Amino acid sequence: MKLLSLPERLGLVTYRNQAKSDIKPHIKVDTDICNSTCPHKCTTYVCPANCYTMDDAGKVHFQVEDCIECGTCMYACDQGAVDWEFPDPEIGRGVTWNFG
Amino acid sequence: MEEKFDCIIVGAGVAGLSAAMTLANNNMKFLLIEKGEFPGSKNVSGGVLWGNDLAKLVPKYWEEDAGWDRYINQRRLTFMDDQSTFTVDFKSSHFNEPPYAGVVVLRSKFDNWLAEKVQEAIDKSDYAMDSFIAPNILVEEILEEDGKAVGIRTGDEKFYADSVILAEGVNNLLTRKVGLQDKYVPADHMLTGIKEIIRFDQKVLEDRFQLNGKSGMSNEFVGYATNGVEGGGFLYTNKDTISLGLVLGLKDLREKGQKPYDILNEFKKHPVIADTIRGGEVVEYSAHVVSSGDKRVMPKKLYKAGLVVCGEAANLLMNAGKAIQGMDYAMRSGILAADTITEAKKNKDFGDAAMKKYQDTLSDSYIMKDINNFQDAVHLLHDPVMTQKMPNLICDFGRNFFSIKNEPTKKAREMLSDSVKKHASYWDLIKIGAKGAKSL
């Protein structure tokens, strides 16, 4: 069977408040820590939704829109850069699983 | 909702719903709060709900074609190298009659169904108009007075109760905020689960996996499935889909620099898996952190005045090689939590000592007995010899044993010895054997 790329997989996810352009992020990342002292920048590969990316200059960037609330980054980051909360039901993003 | 509740439950997963069902049956007045759109909407499991507690909450649930997907009458454990699989397979009609030994569930459907059953129980209680299941509410804070939990806050709104049951799941932010778990939980004993739901024509699925009616199969994988990362794979048959996924040790994933979704694609490309899933269509991709059952990470104290913690918020989950148990622990701990709260109301005492009874009954239950007894097995399963060398060795032996070459055949013992030398050492096996003997 055809293997799906990550964007194709995330395309199957039902996100909340998708119509709202201005959402309140439920995760705040202090990328200054990622880009100064972090020895591994592991969120850029362990995150199952690839919310953390590395640009050509090796800098870490974060976007919350694709987050599926799994919690991986909260444990994987041992540098104190990830401030993790659950999304607000009204003005946050986050998921509604169809199967779960 | 002006008055005080007997109890506020945070989280409508298996633990919270089981607590709620028990409270409703015990004629208690409670509020069950869920942050998702509906109960189950944010929950992910493998998953099989093992054991028979479900029948205590929903008697004869099997007479209804709703909620659960299939009962398990076949168990498979597969060792995998890059080309081969070597499977231990047990199937028995012994498992065909209810009460079933385990049922496969999809949480978005199952939890929502269980919530309907809880609502029916509420309707039959004296508090039909005063107990509520309230979705779409995020609890931000546990309100405390003089060190005792007295309610919850969401936004500017506050709700008060004699007691709080925290059933918020593995990402237990409130459990941390009330001081029962460290603020930062390191990756060391946590795993990330990722899975795909793959849909088939129901008849194709039933023929391919030899399912009959509502029977189902569970299959765990060790070895190549995780591409060198500690952990394992799983495949469960649902009604007309399968759940195919991996559980990956987070610390190891970090150290080995791998991406979980890439490992999942490698797993799906394995020739044996590719044959198994041919023609399927992926309909959902999901992920969730899961605890390992290693006691070193679990909160030591699961209560304080006016509050108890149950389910995976208390990291009650274990894979000791026989099965991945989490939802049954959630169910039992939710029931025990609710029983403690009911008893506390009777005695009009929700203090620290009264809440301690929950942890005492949990310690006496099969949950903590098993978690305590099988710690060595948990450590063994996360040993690289077990997750990497052993599957390679077993598959190598299988390849030799099942190859007929028109030349003099070695005795099996000799073949095994060759495979051991190639993939591990006798020293590895002695160490594993000693650990294994201790853990089983």
Q: What is the pLDDT of residues B242-276, one digit of tens each?
A: 999 999 999 999 999 999 999 999 999 999 999 99
> What integer is the mean pLDDT of B8-16?
98
At residue B383, does pLDDT exceed 90?
A: no
d(CA B140, CA A24): 15
d(CA B300, CA B359): 10
Taking contacts as CB-CB distances below 8 angstroms, the residues of chain B near A4 are 196, 265, 282, 285
The CB density around residue B396, as the number of other CB atoms within 10 Å, is 20
Q: Do A40 and B279 touch (CB under 8 A)?
A: no
Q: What is the pLDDT of residues B174-207, one digit of tens each?
A: 999 999 999 999 999 999 999 999 999 999 999 9
d(CA B246, CA A49): 15
Among the partner residues B238, B259, B286, nearest to A97 by beta-carbon distance:
B286
Examine residue A33 and state whether it is found in any structural domain, yes or no: yes
Q: What is the pLDDT of residues A25-46, one digit of tens each?
A: 999 999 999 999 999 999 999 9
Examine residue A14 and state whether it is found in any structural domain, yes or no: no
pLDDT of residue B2: 59
pLDDT of residue B282: 98
At residue B432, does pLDDT exceed 90?
A: no
User: How sure is the predictor about B382, in pLDDT bands with cuts at 50, 70 and 90?
Assistant: confident
B16 to each of B51, B166, B345, B400, how far by Cα in Å? Answer: 18, 8, 19, 51
B215-223 and B190-199 beta bridge pairing = unpaired
Q: What is the pLDDT of residues B334-367, one digit of tens each?
A: 999 999 999 999 999 999 999 999 999 999 999 9
Q: In the numeric block, which tokens belong to residue B47? A: 């998953």
Examine residue A38 and state whether it is found in any structural domain, yes or no: yes
Asked if B204 is an interface residue toward chain A (Cβ–Cβ < 8 A), one would say no
d(CA A10, CA A4): 10
Tell me, what CATH number does A73's domain have?
3.30.70.20
Among the partner residues B42, B184, B261, nearest to A48 by beta-carbon distance:
B261
Burial class (CB in 10 A: 0-12, 13-18, 19+), A30: middle
User: How sure is the predictor about B429, in pLDDT bands with cuts at 50, 70 and 90?
Assistant: confident
What's the structural domain count of chain A?
1
For chain A, residues with pLDDT lower than 50 are: none
Give counts: helices (H), strands (E), chain A. 4, 4
Q: Do B286 and A84 touch (CB under 8 A)?
A: no
Taking contacts as CB-CB distances below 8 angstroms, the residues of chain A near B157 are none
Q: Do B284 and A12 touch (CB under 8 A)?
A: yes
Q: Do A98 and B108 touch (CB under 8 A)?
A: yes
Examine residue A49 and state whether it is found in any structural domain, yes or no: yes
B139: nearest Cα among B16, B275, B232? B16
Q: Do B106 and A99 touch (CB under 8 A)?
A: yes
CB B34 within 8 Å of CB B191: no
Q: Picking from B5-19, B92-106, B403-417, B419-433, which range would have the lowest pLDDT averaged per residue?
A: B419-433
At residue B410, does pLDDT exceed 60?
A: yes
Domain that holds residue A53: 24-81
The CA angle B331-A49-B202, to the nearest 5 degrees, is 60
Q: Tell me which residues of chain A have a C-beta less than 8 Å from any C-beta of chain B.
A: 1, 3-4, 6, 9-10, 12-13, 16, 40, 42, 45-46, 48-50, 68-72, 74-76, 78, 80, 84-90, 94-100
Q: Do A76 and B260 touch (CB under 8 A)?
A: no
Buried b (16+ CB within 10 A) or exposed e, B155-169: eeeebbbbbbbbbbb
Taking contacts as CB-CB distances below 8 angstroms, the residues of chain A near B190 are 75
Determine which helix (DSSP H) or strand (DSSP E) holds A54, and give its type and residue range.
strand A52-54
Q: Angle at which helices B366-373 and B327-347 pack, to 10 degrees?
A: 130
Reported ipTM: 0.98
Taking contacts as CB-CB distances below 8 angstroms, the residues of chain B near A54 are none
> What integer is the mean pLDDT of B49-70?
95
User: How sure is the predictor about B381, in pLDDT bands with cuts at 50, 70 and 90?
Assistant: confident
Examine residue A50 and state whether it is found in any structural domain, yes or no: yes
Examine residue A39 and state whether it is found in any structural domain, yes or no: yes
The residue behind tokens 């994933």 is: B253
Q: Do A99 and B36 touch (CB under 8 A)?
A: no
CB B31 within 8 Å of CB B5: yes
Burial class (CB in 10 A: 0-12, 13-18, 19+), B300: exposed
SS3 for chain B is CCCCECEEEECCCHHHHHHHHHHHHCCCCEEEECCCCCCCCCCCCCCEEECCHHHHHCCCHHHCCCCCCEEEEEEEEEEECCCCEEEEEEECHHHCCCCCCEEECCHHHHHHHHHHHHHHHHHHCCCCCCCEEECCCCCCEEEEECCEEEEEEECCEEEEECCEEECCCCCCHHHHHCCCCCCCCCHHHEEEEEEEEEECCHHHHHHHCCCCCCEEEEEEEEEHHHCCCCEEEEEEECCCEEEEEEEEEHHHHHHHCCCHHHHHHHHHHCHHHHHHHCCCEEEEEEEEEEECCCHHHCCCCCEECCEEECHHHHCCCEECCCCEECHHHHHHHHHHHHHHHHHHHHHCCCCHHHHHHHHHHHHHCHHHHHHHHCHHHHHHHCCHHHHHHHHHHHHHHHHHHCCCCCCCCCCHHHHHHHHHHHHCCHHHHHHHHHHHHHHC
Burial class (CB in 10 A: 0-12, 13-18, 19+), B95: middle
The per-residue DSSP string of A2-26 comes to: PPPPHHHHHTT--BTTTT-SS---S
Taking contacts as CB-CB distances below 8 angstroms, the residues of chain B near A1 are 198, 268, 274, 277-281
B52: nearest Cα among B68, B32, B30, B37? B68
Examine residue A95 and state whether it is found in any structural domain, yes or no: no
Q: Do A45 and B259 touch (CB under 8 A)?
A: yes
Asked if B291 is an interface residue toward chain A (Cβ–Cβ < 8 A), one would say no
Mean pLDDT score across all residues of chain B: 95
Give the rounded percent of residues in chain A with a pLDDT score beyond 70: 100
Judged by DSSP in three states, A44 sits in: helix
Taking contacts as CB-CB distances below 8 angstroms, the residues of chain A near B109 are 99-100
Which of B113, B266, B288, B317 has the most A C-beta neighbours within 10 Å, making it the best mutation to test the interface with A? B288
Examine residue A93 and state whether it is found in any structural domain, yes or no: no
Q: What is the pLDDT of residues B219-236, one digit of tens each?
A: 999 999 999 999 999 999
Q: Do B284 and A80 touch (CB under 8 A)?
A: no
B240: nearest Cα among B71, B100, B69? B69
CB A3 within 8 Å of CB B269: yes
